[in-house]
Amino acid sequence: MKNKKMIISLLLVISWMGIITFFSSMNSKESNTKSKELISNTITITNPTTNSTLKREITNKLNLPFRKIVHMIIYFILSILIMNLLIIYKNNIIKSIIIGLSISFVFAALDEYHQTFVDGRSGKISDVGIDLIGSTLGISSFVLGYKKINKNNV
């Protein structure tokens, strides 16, 4: 049973890393267009009477913060998936935290480096920092949940 859980958890981590890499492989125009479309569609759904000029202004103002929040959320999820795998494998919370944060950091750095090869994109150290904030929040959330569930085993 433990092996089956480990394999599923590993596949989830690898799949999520693949999703991150897929989105990082989009050129800057395609990436910006997707995020702006999502913001614009959200404005349309939440306030359908917003005129197109105001919607465009709001979309342009929200695009950068939205993209940074998405960075955090993506790495929040990745770190939870990594922690789950490590807990199944090691069952040691302290080592799992250290290894989980290290894996998240290395992957974030490699992802930013990868973006230097994508048309119109650039790797940013600040994005690695934002990714680490998301990872730290994800690991913290995982640990709090883990401790709550396993009160006697931590």
Look at residue 116 and give its three-state secondary structure: coil
How does pLDDT run across 121-143, given as a tens digit for each residue? 888 999 999 999 999 999 999 99
Contact, 131 vs 72, CB < 8 A? yes
Tell me which DSSP letter residue 26 carries: S
- Cα distances from 5 to residues 9, 13, 16, 80, 139, in angstroms, run 6, 12, 16, 15, 19
Contact, 138 vs 76, CB < 8 A? yes
Contact, 138 vs 77, CB < 8 A? yes
Question: Measured between alpha carbons, how far is 130 from 105 in angstroms, rounded to an integer?
Answer: 10
pLDDT band at 151 (very low <50, low <70, confident <90, very high): confident
pTM: 0.89
Contacts of 83 (CB under 8 A, 6+ apart): 96, 97, 100, 138, 139, 142, 143, 146
pLDDT averaged over every residue in the chain: 93
How does pLDDT run across 49-91, given as a tens digit for each residue? 989 999 999 999 999 999 999 999 999 999 999 999 999 887 7
Domain definitions of the chain by residue range:
2-28+67-149
Strand intervals (E) in 19-135: none
Provide the pLDDT for residue 90. Answer: 78
pLDDT band at 154 (very low <50, low <70, confident <90, very high): low
